[in-house]
Amino acid sequence: MATVSVRQAKKVFGSTKILHGVDVEIADGEFVVLVGPSGCGKSTLLRMIAGLENISGGEIAIGGRVVNNVPPKDRDIAMVFQNYALYPHMTVRENMAFSMKLAKAPASVMEEEVNRAAKILGLDALLDRYPRQLSGGQRQRVAMGRAIVRHPQVFLFDEPLSNLDAKLRVQMRSEIKELQQRLATTTIYVTHDQIEAMTMADQIVVMNGGRIEQAGAPLALYDRPANLFVAGFIGSPAMNLLPGRIADGGFRTDGGALLPLPPGTSGNAATYGIRPEHLMLADDGVEGTIVIVEPTGSETQVTLRIGETQIIGAFRERVQGRPGDPLRVMPDLSLVHLFGPDGNRLS
């Protein structure tokens, strides 16, 4: 178990800059999720921590030791790959024991470690199978088992759930989180799925275009997104982000809707943000026209048109309405987010 510090890490491929100086501090035992759209540099950063990519600038330290020039095998890390990278010609047992075999561990230790990992992951009955004979979820577990037996200081996960179907993904998500809590090993997890990030992380690092947009606890990012990118990226369905300006005693969107502002607001807000779940049905609210109603069972998502502005609301109530019907909604004024012309949050 160890801390991980990434200081001004840069990565350049030829003339293409992938990372523009990234800083991340990861505490001992913390579960950190790097999240962002594809191409944002999150996997590259993970591979730099693993030692599979060299570091073009800045430094990375694991447990206080700068590892820029330390080969991967000496960094005391274990990685789970997106495609699992199980050795197809080895049984589950051999896959898990491979690192110990290379380190010439005694057979009794290998046996013990493999059995311990198999027990944790529920792989006992599958130890003599080949990867080909396993389901996706089982392969995923073997890949984790291969990481566990090494007692690494840091676990690295590179989009480990993206090859699984939706149901299994939810199940493995909680399994990984539970495992991490049990082992209390520092973990860095890369995903493009913000729900995975929200549900699993102690700390989320939102990346975009080779830069860090915001880092913090999941709910802190949800409650106080630092800028438009994070506001739009975190949360599902995504936050309504409506460009406009403060006028006429409220916020006048470019589409012509007039939305109420929290009392005492002034300044040069250029974007009005309100999460769908923070809109309420209210008789004294802003009137809009229903465009589409999407019931999910637990809630109802309604797309409204107010003036020319489209806005999505998610309501616990069952909204009875047909396209074209009027509906009055009211934003929860304490949960309105305002952003300046530069895209940053106005506090």
Q: Quick one: 96 or 293, whose CB is closer to other proteins?
A: 96
Question: Between 80 and 109, how does the x/- string for binding to other proteins read (CB under 8 A)?
Answer: -xxx-x-xxxx-------xx--xx------
Structure tokens at 173: 């998500």
CB atoms < 10 A from the CB of 343, how many?
Answer: 16
Cis omega before residue 237 (within 30°)?
A: yes
Q: Which long-range contacts (CB under 8 A, 24 or more apart) does 162-167 make?
A: 162/82, 162/191, 162/192, 162/193, 163/82, 163/83, 163/84, 163/136, 164/136, 164/137, 164/140, 165/136
Binding of other proteins at residue 246 (CB under 8 A)?
no
Binding of other proteins at residue 245 (CB under 8 A)?
no
CB of 83 to other proteins, least distance (A): 6
Task: Provide Rg for the chain, Cα atoms.
Answer: 24
Could you say which of 4, 22, 50, 230 contacts other proteins (CB under 8 A)? Answer: 50
Could you say which of 9, 24, 55, 78 contacts other proteins (CB under 8 A)? Answer: 78
Residue 230, helix vs strand vs coil: helix
Cα pseudo-dihedral 111, 116, 122, 128, rounded to 10: -10
> How many degrees, rounded to 5, is the angle at CA 170 between CA 165 and CA 171?
100
Binding of other proteins at residue 226 (CB under 8 A)?
no
CB of 89 to other proteins, least distance (A): 4
Q: Which of residues 109-148 bind other proteins (CB under 8 A)?
A: 129-133, 146
Helix (H) or strand (E) holding 209: none
Q: Quick one: 133 or 174, whose CB is closer to other proteins?
A: 133
CB of 185 to other proteins, least distance (A): 15
Q: Quick one: 125 or 247, whose CB is closer to other proteins?
A: 125
Give the residues lining the site for other proteins (CB under 8 A).
50-52, 72-73, 77-79, 81-83, 85, 87-90, 98-99, 102-103, 129-133, 146, 150
